[in-house]
Each structure stands twice: as structure tokens, then as C-alpha cells.
Amino acid sequence: MWFLSPLFWLGIAAVAAPILVHLVRRTRARKVEFPALTFVRQVPQRTIRRRTLRNLLLLILRCLAILLIVIAFTRPFFSRRSAAKDSGSAGATVVLIDSSLSMRREQMFAAAVQRAGTIIDEARNDERLALIGFGKRYEVISRFTADKARLHATLKSLAVSWEGTDYEQALRGAESLFGELKTAGPRRIVLISDFQASGWNQAKATFKLSSDIQLQTFDVGGNNPAANVAVTRVDAHGLVFGQKYLENLSVQVGNFGDTPRDRLAIDFQINDQTVEKREVSLNASETKVVEFTGFNLTEGANRCVVEVGSGDFPADNKFYFTIRRDAPAKALIVESASRGRSDSFYLQSALSLNDALPFSFTVKSAGGVDPSGVAENSLVILNDAGPLSGALSESLKKFVEAGGQLIVSAGPHTDANSFNEPLRTILPVSLGDAVQTKPGEGLALTNIKFDHPIFEIFRESGRLAAARVFGYLRSDAKSNANVLARFEDGSPALVEANAGKGRVLLFTSSLGPSWNDLALTPLYLPFVHQMIRYAGSREEGSWYGLGQTFRVAKESKGDPPAVDSPDGVRLTENRLTPDGDLLITGRQPGFYRLRYPQHPDFAAVDLDAAEGDFTKLDFGAFMTGVTGGSGNVEGREANRQFSNEEIENRQKVWWPLLFLALLLLITESLLAQRIKLAKVVG
């Protein structure tokens, strides 16, 4: 047994107090001459003996209670430290130092580095140590060496990062590092961290340490989870085509603490100018969404920041994102040359209702389209276009293969043969005969892939099944095609396929009222808009997570732009894609400046939201998980080491000791009271 505060053993002198009182009172027995001793003698002596025993029991109880209290104050614990430390070969140790974002709290990182320094100092001279710093990923900052001076020097170079925490990765790294060793001996991993719950996912944990490796942990995070409020997520469109942002920009604000927070200020800034301010109150462990809309955006990239006015841990109070305002691309709608109302009337009406669509549309008949001008568009919609000329078909093929988007919808004027052969290489299906249902009967859409971007907005309502289809082109999906929806008879309804660099989306029924009543239902508008957005493929993320790699497109000249980190340092990374784009990994929260000569751009990088939750790890589950024990905690304990404070903190032997002392004192009190009562009653 070991003691954290052995100085309290001095308190053992207090045990002498009841003994002294007992002895003093014994010696003070007064001698009294008494004539009727014969009657006293007749009183059963066992009563006196019992009383004497009771008094002795009282003395023992008092002494024991004081002894237990003293022992409790010395904070005892049972150590299972391996004898290997004091005997045998020195072995090797990997010191894992948590350098994640949460270690920026108070002086935690400094304490971790100091602890690592102490471990280096206390290591045997022939013991080899390696140092690893870790967050989401790990970095070996020093491989195995017994040179303490070198280890200290390396340790000084370790800096705290902005990353989240992943204990599993760190332990994997440490274990793999042992593979470099060619000598046998005890192997030990020392894990110094604040032990955040978010750093280890028990449900997904698969890694287990080798049984010959001892794990020693040092918790520098304290016991109380710190209060923290953070902006955890922003949902915004990274690319818009109008001056006003018309949709809802939602901001998630989370309170990770155990106490409610009232009237927190939310400040929304665009290009360093405050656009709007809000206030939000959060209960303990509550997350709320604050929405902003209707704000103006300038042309090009806009740097947006949402900041919550919370006094605690400021690192995660800001959330960075960008919104780019671009001019819409050109799109061409090709229809059949028919008299009367244009067959694209419903389609045009639907597209004209949304300014936020990434295209400006031009409608032409199939005969009126200049094949050479097709390439100027980004999107072409063949809306029941009728027979296509060979030149147009050829230009459409080239258009798609070069990266253009093509949407094809069938209809009464669609000639399957004029599509199948000329566009064979790009169409996802081979079209067949037209199918007409009986009057009054219609087919519904089934087998809809609601996880597809086009249909995901219909996931909750499921109302797409309400539309009735009366006619369509029979079709057979090709092997590379993705059937997104079918009719009730199993025939493909909406099919997509990539072709070259482009993509083709084919709806085997009409986008007008010819073959279905879709255009007459409220489903039509969102369905068409989703298809256009999907085909537009210009949706951009508004921010990147820390550690995420993003692409910086090359300039028109062919070279990628220079990139500055949020703290203004020019990056020297030169990882390029085959197309010559630059790949940058975000290592710092804030805006990365992409120095295009004509139009400077920005990429926003944000922290891992889970890192703001300082809830403590379930230590027992963690140990069980990483050591692969069979659930027998005691059995696993033998395989690893903890600091004395941790062992004592986990065992909490002082608790039962104090409880036992309390019980003894209560028993003593009851016994004493009983004796006193017996005296009174006589």
C-alpha cells in the first residue's frame, strides 16, 4: 500500500488521545471506605465485566475511528506497479503528448510538456525513449534514443496544434514505432493528455494494444469539465448567383457546459463588417440553430465569420466560411419546333421563378440550334426535342465529353432512334417504344433513391408518389447507368451516367404535361430546380474542416496561385493534382488567402467542433477498449501503469475509510449512549 500524503501519518498521534483519557480516568479511581461491600459483592460480576468490556470496546472504536480518519487523509492506494521498473532491462518508452486544440486550455499543454520532461529525467540512462505529439493525427518528433539532452531539445520544439483528438491513431502510431526496436525488453507507452471523451469513439474502436506493452497515463486536464460555448457548424451555400442571400444560413451554437448560458451575443460579419447581431440563450448541453438570411453579398469571394460572445475558451468561438457570388452560367433549352404554346412553357416558368439557379437559360428549337454554339453553354436541356440533326448530335457528344451537362427529357415528339445511335456513347439507356397507359390509369414513381441530391429534399414528404405518369419511353439502363427512379412497371424513369468529363441525366417521361401530371403538381418546381442544381455542379462547400485537403484551381496561365495561411505565412506546399491544381491541407482555423492576380479568393478552415466538448473520457471503457481485456478490469490492470494520483483517484480508498470511520463513530455514540442510559435508569 502507498500513500499520497504520508505527512498526515503525524496525525496518528491523535490516537493517543482516547487512550490517555482512558488511562487518566482509570488512575483516578477514588478509594472509598464502604460498609455494605457485602451487598456490592452480591451483584453479578459479569455485569461489571460486560461493562468493562464495553468500555474497552468504546476505547477501541474511538482509536480505530481516529486511525481510519488519519489513514484516509494520507490518501492510500494499492499500487500494482510492475517490478520491471526496478529490475531487469531498461526497455523502451514512447511518450505520447496530446497537442490537440483542447490542450490550449489554461496551462495544460505546458503541464503535459513538463510531465514529459519529468519522464525523460526519471528514465534510466539506458532506457530508450521516443516522443510523439498527436491530435487527430500523430507526428513522431523524436525516434528512440537514450540521449536525454536531445529528447529535451526535441520536446521544446513541440507546439500545440488546432486539431481534434484521436487516441486510437496515437496509440497505433506508438505501437508501430516499437517495430523499429531490435532488442527485447519491457515496452511502455506513456499517454499524457486531458482525456477528452471526443478523442475516442467506443462504438467504432477496433484497435487494441499488444499485450506486452504497458500503458501509463497522465491526466493533465483536471477533473471538472470546463464550461464552453462554441459555434459548431454553419450551413451555407458556398456559391450564389444573386446579390442577396435568399436562403437560410443556419448557424449551430452549442453549450458543452453543465450550466445554462444566457443572452450570448452572436455576431455575423462579412468581410470584417458586422451584418447582423443576435442573442441566444442556451441550457446546459444544449445546441441551438440561429438563422440569417437576406444579407447582401459583393461580387467574388466574401469572408464570413460568425462569432459567439462567450468568455470561455475563445479558440472555438469563431466560425469561418466563404460565400462566393458569381455570374450564372449559360444554359440552352432545346425543344421541338411545334405550333402553339411551347412545350418548354412549364419548364421555363419553373426556372424563371428562382434567381438562385446557377444558369441563365436560352430556349431554342432543335432546328434553330447552331451546333457550333453548343459548347458555349454549361448545360443543355433537350426537352422533347424531336429528331436531332447529325451535326447537333455530334456537337452534343463533344459537349458532354468535354465536361458539359446534358439533361434529356422524353415526350411525344421524341424519336428514340434519333437518340440511340447518334448519342449512344453518352446516353445512359437505350430508348425503346413509347408506352401509353389506359385512360384514367397512371403510373407512379417508385424505387426512388432519396439519398441522391435530386431527391433528398423529398425524403421526408414522400409526395413524389402522388404524380401520375401516362406515357414514357421504354428504356434499358446501361451498365454504367445509375437508375434514380423507376415507374411502377419497373421501367427506368430517371437515369444518370457520366460520359467523358460530363454527365447526362435522362427522364424517360416529359417535363411538360404531355405524358404526366407532374407539371401540374407542387412537386414540379422543386423537382426541376433540384435537377438543374445537380446538373449545374457548381455547388461549393463554404468551409473546410481542419486537416481537410482542398483544391486550389490553377490560374488560366497554368500555374496555381500563391497561398497564405490565416496567420499570413506564405505556404510552400507544392502538392499538385494531375490537372495542375494545388492541394492544400488546412492546419489552422481562419481564411487561407488564394492569391489569384485578378480576383483574390479565400478558403475557410474551421476547427473540429467536437474538440470544444471537454467532457471527460470514460476511463474504464477506454482502458478496456485499448488493451483488449476480456472485461475483467482487475486482470487488465496488471498490464499497465498509472500515476500515483490517478491510481489513488480511481481507487478512492479514502472514501470507504471515512465511511467506516463514520460508522464506527456512530456505533461508539450509540454504545456510549446506551451505557449512559443504563446508568440513568439504574
Partner 1 sequence: MWWNRKTTTAIKDQPASGVPNAPGPARFLDPEVLARIGSLELLARAVVEGFMSGLHRSPFTGFSTEFTEYRQYNPGDDLRYLDWRLLARTDRYFIKKYRADTNTQCHILIDTSASMRYSQAGRISKLQYAKFLAASLAYLLNRQQDAVGIVAFDQHIHTHVPARSRTGHMRTIFGQLSLLEAGGETRLAESLHELAELLTRRGIVVLISDFYDQTDRLQSAFQHLRFRGHDLMAFQVLDKNEIDFDFDDPILLLEDSETNEQMPVLPDVVMGGYRARMREHIDGMRTCAAANRVDYELITTDQPLDHALFSFLSRRVGK
Residues in a beta bridge with 642: 217
Q: Least distance to partner 1 from the beta carbon of 27, Å? A: 10
Does position 272 interact with partner 1 (CB under 8 A)? The reply is no
Q: Least distance to partner 1 from the beta carbon of 59, Å? A: 13
Which stretch, 31-39, 148-156, 243-251, 659-667, contacts partner 1 (CB under 8 A)? 31-39
Q: Least distance to partner 1 from the beta carbon of 63, Å? A: 19
Dihedral angle computed from the Cα positions of residues 280, 281, 283 and 287, in that order, rounded to the nearest 10 degrees: 0
Q: Least distance to partner 1 from the beta carbon of 17, Å? A: 18
Dist. CA 434–CA 394, nearest whole Å: 24
Q: Least distance to partner 1 from the beta carbon of 24, Å? A: 12
Using DSSP, state whether 673 is helix, strand or coil: helix
Among 51, 156, 424, 652, interactor with partner 1 by CB under 8 A: 51
Q: Which CB, 203 or 680, lies closer to partner 1? A: 680
Using DSSP, state whether 517 is helix, strand or coil: coil
Which stretch, 34-42, 355-363, 581-589, 662-670, contacts partner 1 (CB under 8 A)? 34-42
Which stretch, 42-50, 192-200, 431-439, 666-674, contacts partner 1 (CB under 8 A)? 42-50
Nearest one of 661, 366, 133 to 142, comparing CA atoms: 133
Does position 557 interact with partner 1 (CB under 8 A)? The reply is no
Which stretch, 82-90, 93-101, 597-605, 672-680, contacts partner 1 (CB under 8 A)? 672-680
- Say if residues 130 and 173 touch (Cβ distance below 8 Å): no
Among 20, 48, 284, 457, interactor with partner 1 by CB under 8 A: 48
Dist. CA 222–CA 216, nearest whole Å: 17
Among 7, 24, 327, 681, interactor with partner 1 by CB under 8 A: 681
Dihedral angle computed from the Cα positions of residues 571, 572, 573 and 576, in that order, rounded to the nearest 10 degrees: 110
Q: Least distance to partner 1 from the beta carbon of 53, Å? A: 11
Helical H segments across 74-223, by residue range: 108-122, 148-157, 167-177
Using DSSP, state whether 96 is helix, strand or coil: strand
**How big is the site for partner 1, counted in residues (CB under 8 A)?**
28
Among 24, 39, 149, 579, interactor with partner 1 by CB under 8 A: 39
Does position 631 interact with partner 1 (CB under 8 A)? The reply is no
- Say if residues 424 and 440 touch (Cβ distance below 8 Å): no
Residues 6 or more apart in contact with residue 14 via CB below 8 angstroms: 66, 70
52-91 binders of partner 1 (CB under 8 A): 52
- Say if residues 249 and 234 touch (Cβ distance below 8 Å): yes
Dist. CA 444–CA 80, nearest whole Å: 70
Q: Least distance to partner 1 from the beta carbon of 67, Å? A: 25
Q: Least distance to partner 1 from the beta carbon of 35, Å? A: 4
Grid cell for residue 124: 534510466
Among 1, 7, 24, 40, interactor with partner 1 by CB under 8 A: 40
Please report how the helices 619-627 and 167-177 are oriented relative to each other, as an axis angle in degrees rounded to 10.
40
Using DSSP, state whether 471 is helix, strand or coil: strand
- Say if residues 215 and 191 touch (Cβ distance below 8 Å): yes
Q: Which CB, 30 or 557, lies closer to partner 1? A: 30
Which stretch, 32-40, 74-82, 275-283, 594-602, contacts partner 1 (CB under 8 A)? 32-40
Q: Which CB, 15 or 672, lies closer to partner 1? A: 672
Q: Which CB, 1 or 40, lies closer to partner 1? A: 40
- Say if residues 657 and 78 touch (Cβ distance below 8 Å): no
Q: Which CB, 20 or 663, lies closer to partner 1? A: 20
Q: Least distance to partner 1 from the beta carbon of 673, Å? A: 13
Nearest one of 467, 472, 365 to 412, comparing CA atoms: 472
Number of CB atoms found within 10 A of residue 370's CB: 11
Per-residue string for binding with partner 1, 9-28, x by CB under 8 A? ----------------xx--
With cell 440533326, the residue in question is 389
Among 43, 83, 149, 203, interactor with partner 1 by CB under 8 A: 43
Q: Which CB, 26 or 557, lies closer to partner 1? A: 26
Does position 583 interact with partner 1 (CB under 8 A)? The reply is no
Q: Is 392 exposed, middle or buried (0-12, 13-18, 19+ CB in 10 A)?
A: buried
Dist. CA 664–CA 62, nearest whole Å: 8
- Say if residues 239 and 255 touch (Cβ distance below 8 Å): no
Q: Which CB, 27 or 87, lies closer to partner 1? A: 27
Does position 46 interact with partner 1 (CB under 8 A)? The reply is no
Does position 182 interact with partner 1 (CB under 8 A)? The reply is no
With cell 421504354, the residue in question is 474
Q: Which CB, 40 or 149, lies closer to partner 1? A: 40
Q: Least distance to partner 1 from the beta carbon of 649, Å? A: 45
Q: Which residues bind partner 1 (CB under 8 A)?
A: 25-26, 29-44, 47-48, 51-52, 675, 678-682
